[in-house]
Amino acid sequence: MTAASGTGLLDEPLAGTASSGEPRRTSRVATIGRRLRAHPLEAVAVLIVIFVIFVAVAAPLIAPANPDTVNFAERFAAPSLSHWFGFDDAGRDVLSRVIYGARTTLSAVAIVLVIAASVGTAIGTFAAVGGRALDELLMRITDIGLSFPPLVLAIGLSAAFGGGLNGAIAAIALSWWPGYARLVRTLVGDTAGKTFVENARVLGVSRARLVLRHILPNALDLLFVQVTLDVAFVALTLSGLSFVGAGARPPSPEWGSMIYEGSQVITSGWWIAVFPGAALTLTAVSFSLVGDLLRGELDPRTRAIMRR
């Protein structure tokens, strides 16, 4: 993490100003454009991410049917030209449920990451600038959280919260924030020692303004990259909780719950589990590739390796 101090962002006393920020943004866009042209797979991943987000937002407009409408006459109807993904064991349109599943899954993932990143950023920042005693206290609490595998901790917490989608969201957020706290503590600690921060401190800038105006904006590029990468892992964790019965419950149109339902009748209708599984896999892989793309531009260590 100390390599973060090598970015041009951290050495500019007035980061974010129009004179210094605009060329950098233009350079980044150009660099990303060149990388997309050189790596078609990442370009495809970006298009898939945009498409999945569009589907999640526009689900009520593009879904061919209500995801919860039951038609027993169509139970286990195979995919066809009129119903591309077929029907499930309750006679519900699988395509509609997959489309609404994008909205349910991505909304839950977004809530988890906003909560976890916000809590982690606050704790990591206080630990970095609040003095040795506070740093030791907050980091020891963080270490306790990091000592448990996130999935195992999330399963236990979700069960304690009574399960369901809301319980799963709370459980994953509580198991995910320690990683962000540790990352932000390192990034803020590195940035706080920079010359422009020392100059601002000498000029009498208040601690709150120093942190909010000078330190955090220059320290959180890698946090944004980590959040993007974590979309895939949180989505898989959420679906994993639903699959073992500790997350979203039927008939909720959530991909993990749909995969579980389909796995129970896989011999009668393979498509019931395969299509939501394919959607989950494609989304997770695409977000991971987009995260790697951003890391290649924002992480100086990765950027240095790529330019050799």
Superfamily of domain 2-306: MetI-like (1.10.3720.10)
With 80 as the cut, is the pLDDT of residue 132 above it?
Answer: yes
Between residues 85 and 249, the one the model is more confident about: 85
Domain boundaries, the chain: 2-306
Average pLDDT over every residue of 27-38: 71
pLDDT bin (cut points 50, 70, 90) of residue 25 is low
pLDDT bin (cut points 50, 70, 90) of residue 118 is very high
Q: What is the 3-state secondary structure (H, E, C) of 63-129?
A: CCCCCCCCCHHHCCCCCCCCCCCCECCCCCEHHHHHHHHHHHHHHHHHHHHHHHHHHHHHHHHHHHH
The region of weakest confidence among 3-17, 156-170, 188-202, 209-223 is: 3-17
> Residue 251 has what pLDDT?
81
**Rg (alpha carbons) of the chain, rounded to whole number:** 22
The region of weakest confidence among 12-26, 101-115, 139-153 is: 12-26
With 60 as the cut, is the pLDDT of residue 34 above it?
Answer: yes
Average pLDDT over every residue of 191-203: 69
- pTM score of the predicted model: 0.81
